[in-house]
Structure 1
């Protein structure tokens, strides 16, 4: 792998660039909180060859949203469910917008 390949990956939202310690520091939370999100199956960190958890920017955004809800008093299990539902809603809205654009352009959509 070249240096260009490595640096190119840093722009990838899904590239697991952050260690657990760094991720917790960036979020202003504890490593235990990140473990709890993993146990609740909100985020599943990838593992380094040495077995250490690694997080992507996308996962950090999800974790930050969960932390925001927990900080407001929402139980962690409920916060995780809310974040999952928000993510599903956003994806459904994106797909609906694509279907609308295709229909307006006169293209048939998949059924």
Structure 2
């Protein structure tokens, strides 16, 4: 593959490459399930020139997690909220780790503290 634009799109987990039917089949859900994730605000899939939904690998990862939570007995709305909160918690923990690392920097290492 010599096209750098195409290669970049395929490497980008956020690139909306999958049609609704393909996405649903890949993770074992119905198209209605994927539409429901948009209704509940968890996913905002890209759109093709014709207006059809396109899903990224990142979105399919989230959709798979919601699928797993719903199979544990949660409603779709509750599962979407749980996954949203899991994402927020992961981001907060990552930020906390960076801040702790900055605080642990030696006193004369200003570049590391200000990064």
Q: Does TM, scored on the shorter chain, surpass 0.5?
A: yes
Moved over 4 A (4+): none
- CA deviations on 1:18-55 (whole Å, 9 max, x unpaired) are 11111000011100000011100110101111101001
Q: CA deviation at 1:13?
A: 1.4
Q: Residue in 1 aligned with 2:24?
A: 24
Contact 1:21/1:31, CA 8 A, preserved across alignment: yes
TM-score, normalising length: structure 2: 0.89
Alignment of 1:19-98 (within 5 A): 19-98=19-98
Question: Partners in 2 of 1:11 and 1:93 — Cα distance?
Answer: 26
Q: Residue in 2 aligned with 1:102?
A: 102
Q: Give the SS at the match of 1:54.
A: strand
- CA deviations on 1:56-92 (whole Å, 9 max, x unpaired) are 1110000000000111110000000000000000000
Q: Residue in 2 aligned with 1:4?
A: 4
Contact 1:27/1:64, CA 8 A, preserved across alignment: yes
Aligned length: 109
Question: Partners in 1 of 2:57 and 2:105 — Cα distance?
Answer: 35
Question: Partners in 1 of 2:93 and 2:63 — Cα distance?
Answer: 22
Question: Partners in 2 of 1:79 and 1:64 — Cα distance?
Answer: 11
Question: Partners in 2 of 1:62 and 1:40 — Cα distance?
Answer: 13
